[in-house]
C-alpha cells in the first residue's frame, strides 16, 4: 500500500477590504497556490476573536491564517492593531495548550498583492506540512472515571 501524503487543513480568515481582494486578485491572475486553504471572509481582521481560532483547531484545522490590511490602512482604523494583540495572546495560549505556535500565522496583504497572497499560502502550507497533523484539541478534556468507595 502506498503511503498517503499528509495534506494540511488550513483555515484562512481574510479581511474583506484588503486580504480577500488580494486572494481574488491571485485567482483572476491565475496564480498557483495549494488548495489546502478554506477561506472565510470577515469584514475586518479585528473581528476574528480568539474563540474563532480555537474553534478552528477544535474542528481539526492543522493551521490558521489570519490576513488583514497593512498597519495604518485598516478601513476600521484600529482593527489590525487589535488583531496583532490578539495573535500574540493566542500564540502563548497555543503554546500552553501543547500546540506549536507556528500553526497560527498573521499576514498583512493589500488588495493589490495577489502574488503575496499566493506566496503566503504556499509557504504556510509547507510549514504546516512539515509540522504534521495537529494534535487533538479538546476544550474540556474527557474526565477519567473516579472510583468512589
pLDDT score at 4: 78
| Residue 69 belongs to some domain of the structure | yes
pLDDT tens readout for residues 79-129: 999 999 999 999 999 999 889 999 999 999 999 999 999 999 999 999 999
| Residue 98 belongs to some domain of the structure | yes
| Residue 71 belongs to some domain of the structure | yes
For the chain, percent of residues with pLDDT exceeding 90: 79
Rounded CA separation 45/58 (Å): 20
Q: At what angle do helices 19-28 and 114-131 cross, to 10 degrees?
A: 100
pLDDT at 9 over 80: yes
pLDDT at 135 over 90: no
Looking up cell 471572509 gives 41
pLDDT score at 52: 95
pLDDT score at 142: 55
What average pLDDT is seen over the chain? Answer: 91
Query: Could you tell me if 15 and 43 are in contact, meaning their C-beta atoms sit under 8 angstroms apart?
Result: yes
pLDDT score at 1: 45
pLDDT score at 148: 55
| Residue 138 belongs to some domain of the structure | no
What CATH number is associated with residue 48? 3.40.50
Total tally of structural domains belonging to the chain? 1
| Residue 14 belongs to some domain of the structure | yes
pLDDT score at 136: 81
The continuous run of DSSP H or E covering 98 comes out as none
With cut-offs at 50, 70 and 90, classify the pLDDT of residue 141. low
Domain carrying residue 79 = 10-131
Amino acid at each position: 500500500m502506498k503511503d498517503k501524503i499528509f495534506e494540511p487543513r488550513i483555515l484562512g480568515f481574510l479581511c474583506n477590504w484588503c486580504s480577500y481582494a488580494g486572494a481574488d486578485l491571485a485567482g483572476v491572475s491565475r496564480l498557483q497556490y495549494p488548495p489546502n486553504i478554506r477561506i472565510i471572509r470577515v469584514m475586518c481582521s479585528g473581528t476574528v476573536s480568539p474563540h474563532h481560532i480555537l474553534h478552528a483547531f477544535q474542528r481539526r484545522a492543522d493551521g490558521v491564517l489570519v490576513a488583514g490590511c497593512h498597519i495604518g490602512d485598516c478601513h476600521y482604523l484600529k482593527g489590525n492593531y487589535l488583531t496583532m494583540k490578539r495573535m500574540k495572546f493566542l500564540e502563548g495560549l497555543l503554546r500552553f495548550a501543547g500546540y506549536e505556535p507556528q500553526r497560527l500565522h498573521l499576514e498583512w496583504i493589500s488588495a493589490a498583492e495577489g502574488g503575496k497572497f499566493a506566496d503566503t499560502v504556499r509557504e504556510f502550507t509547507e510549514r504546516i506540512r512539515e509540522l504534521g497533523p495537529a494534535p487533538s484539541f479538546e476544550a474540556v478534556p474527557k474526565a477519567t472515571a473516579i472510583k468512589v468507595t
